[in-house]
Each structure stands twice: as structure tokens, then as C-alpha cells.
Structure 1
Amino acid sequence: MTRLTLAAAGFALCLSQAAYASSDAAWNALFAKVNGTCIGQSGLNTPEASAPVVFDDAAGKIALLMRGQTGKGKSKVNVSLICLYDKKTGKASIAEYHWLGK
């Protein structure tokens, strides 16, 4: 009886882990949404974006580093931005950052 109980518990544990796993397609869809939201709000003319930095579920955030230019003509300015995307609300906050005090 003990063996059967252990086998059933092991099987249930495997099933519960599978239920929490996300597919590659789900991650790719989330990352596309993050990119679209962050790049759309950035105001950059030709943005470059980093790979997403995924924080743990307790934080519930994904960060994206971006760089590019704002403005038009001779008034173009190079900027570096960080976007913090909230997985629960789907909202993003963007701030400019300076690498190593530059």
C-alpha cells in the first residue's frame, strides 16, 4: 500500500508541476506584448531593445532596456531608457537611465 501511495503522490506532483509550466509560445506572446508596449510608449525613432529581464512572480515585473533617438532633424538626441512592465496590469513605466554616470 505504501508503494502505491508514493507512486500516486509522485504522479500528482508531476501533474501539478506541468500545470504551472508555460509554453514557449506563451512566453513569446508575453515578450511580444512587452516589446510592443514599451517601444510604443518610448517615443524613440528607431529603438533597439534588449532581451527581456524577467523578475520572479513575487515582483511580477519584466524589464526591457532600450536605446535610440528622440527628436527630429538636427535636434535628435540619443537616449537610453528602461521600461518596467507589470505582468498583472499590462502597464509599463519608462525612465531614462545613464550608464555608469554618463
Structure 2
Amino acid sequence: MIKTMMAAAILLSAGAQVFASSDSAWNALYAKANGTCIGQSGLNTPEASAPVVFDDSVGKVAILLKGETGRSKAKTSVNLICLYDKKTGKASIEEYRWLGK
């Protein structure tokens, strides 16, 4: 009886293991999200924040971008938020403004 209970406990604990992604997998995701967001932003020399990774139920990575659009004297500073979809590899970008500014 004790051996059976111990075997069941071992099997249950083995099934409950959590597997973490490697650092290289996270870095590859960040590089892909940054590249996609920066590429779609249309900004001249954009600056990007560190990625904000939402849990798997949301499946998104958010990146804040800032930079300038336009050429020479007609440049405009903008702040953008990019939501990168981890499953599809597509990004959605919108301009944002801080409250009160």
C-alpha cells in the first residue's frame, strides 16, 4: 500500500512539472518583437523600451517606441505603443499621449 501511494505521488509530481523557456528563446522573441515593431513604426531612429511580456492567456508583447517622423524641418516627435502577437508574429501600432500633456 505504501509503495503504491509513493508511486502515485511520484507520478503526480512528475506530471506537474513546469518547463521554463531558455534565455535564448526569450531573447529571440524580444528580437523578433522589437524588429517587427520598429520596422512597422516608420520612425526615424526610434528608441524602444524593454519588452513587456503578458501571460500566455493574452499572448502579447508590448513595446513603447519614441522617435520622429518626417524629414528635415518637418519632423514630428511621437510616442507609439506596439502590441506584438506571439502566435501570429503580427504587430499593431498606435500613437499614445501621456495624460495631461
TM-score when scaled to structure 1? 0.88
Which is higher, the Rg of structure 1 or of structure 2?
2
Identity among equivalent pairs (%): 65
Over residues 45-81 of structure 1, what are the superposed CA-to-partner deviations in whole Å (9 max), with x where a residue is unaligned? 0100111111111111111000001111100110000
CA distance in 2, matches of 1:84, 1:101: 24
CA distance in 1, matches of 2:100, 2:41: 21
Q: In the TM superposition, what are the counterparts of 1:10-89 in structure 2 within 5 Å?
A: 10-14=13-17, 17-18=18-19, 21-89=20-88
Alpha-carbon shift at residue 41 of structure 1 (Å): 0.4
CA distance in 2, matches of 1:78, 1:97: 12
Letter in 2 for 1:55: F
Aligned Cα RMSD in Å? 1.2
Over residues 8-36 of structure 1, what are the superposed CA-to-partner deviations in whole Å (9 max), with x where a residue is unaligned? 3323433xx13xx2111000000000000
- Deviation above 3 Å: which 4+ runs of structure 1? none
- Partner of 1:47: helix, strand, or coil? strand
Letter in 2 for 1:97: Y
Kindly indicate whether residue 18 of structure 2 is the aligned counterpart of residue 4 of structure 1. no
For structure 2, the residue ranges without an aligned partner over 5 or more in a row are none
CA distance in 2, matches of 1:57, 1:25: 18
Letter in 2 for 1:4: A
CA distance in 1, matches of 2:36, 2:47: 14
Match of 2:99 in 1: 100
Q: How many residues matched? A: 98
Alpha-carbon shift at residue 37 of structure 1 (Å): 0.1
Structure in which a larger fraction of residues adopt helix: 1
For structure 1, the residue ranges without an aligned partner over 5 or more in a row are none
